Amino acid sequence: MKSEKISELTTKRLSVYLRCLQTLNRSGIHTISSRAMAEQFHLNSAQIRKDLAYFGEFGVRGVGYQVSQLAQHLTKILGLNLLHHVCICGAGNLGRALCDYAGFNTEGFKIVALFDQDPRKIGTLSRSGVPVYDIKKLKQVVRKEDVDIAVVTVPADAAQKVVDMICDTGVKAILNFAPVRLRVNSAVKLKTVDLKVSLESLSYYLSNPASPVAAHPPE
């Protein structure tokens, strides 16, 4: 397996392929060609072949891909064969929603802790039973619960301070929802999801209906 640097767009597409293969698997389909897969899920067959060839030879000429075998490979490539323990910093609306959101707290990911500085929230549980800890106990709880991914849902003006605290715990991967550009040291991977950017992209489309923006895989 190659270990060169691949783009986030590629990892996103691998995630999409994995969803498609899981759907096929549930439908009892054992093999599929890149062309049939592209047609069924509105993807690009040449792109599928290129992306998958990068990680090795998964297809058999004239037969296609073995659905469950390829799904297993992609699961492993994406590191989803391991269970990641996730904490969420910021027990406000968004933090609690993500905590209880079935699309988030599932396969490969387990949300084990919420953090906040509000004494009224500390000591409570989310709907799904995740405890809210004092943000001052971040390092201690991260170690005890073996957290390896932190999600940031605090307001923009508090985000850098919280990210610094997370870096100090040794956690190497941060998903940030605060609409602000943050600094981390080079050993930490920071990914920012600015939900408003998606709305602005739609706003652009509505203002330029004659020039539809090019299609991209889901984010």
Site for a copy of itself in 188-207 (CB under 8 A): 189, 191-207
- Residue choice 56, 108, 123, 170 for contact with a copy of itself (CB under 8 A): 108
- Contact at 8 Å (CB) between 162 and 154? yes
- Residue choice 149, 154, 162, 167 for contact with a copy of itself (CB under 8 A): 149
Binding span for a copy of itself by CB under 8 A among 61-69, 95-103, 113-121, 160-168: 95-103
- Residue choice 109, 124, 134, 145 for contact with a copy of itself (CB under 8 A): 109
| Beta sheet of 149-152, edge-to-edge order | 132-134, 109-116, 84-89, 149-152, 173-176, 189-192
Residue with smaller CB distance to a copy of itself, 135 or 171: 171
DSSP code per residue over 21-79: HHHHHHTT--EE-HHHHHHHHT--HHHHHHHHHTT---EETTTEEEHHHHHHHHHHHTT
Interacting residues with a copy of itself between 5 and 64 (CB under 8 A): 5-9, 11-12, 14-16, 18-20, 41-42
CB of residue 31 vs a copy of itself: minimum separation in angstroms? 21
Structure tokens at 107: 């396969």
Binding span for a copy of itself by CB under 8 A among 1-9, 57-65, 137-145, 158-166: 1-9
Q: Which of 34, 57, 43 is nearest to 12 (CA)?
A: 43
CB of residue 68 vs a copy of itself: minimum separation in angstroms? 19
- Give the number of other Cβ atoms within 10 Å of residue 87's Cβ: 25
Residue with smaller CB distance to a copy of itself, 63 or 156: 156
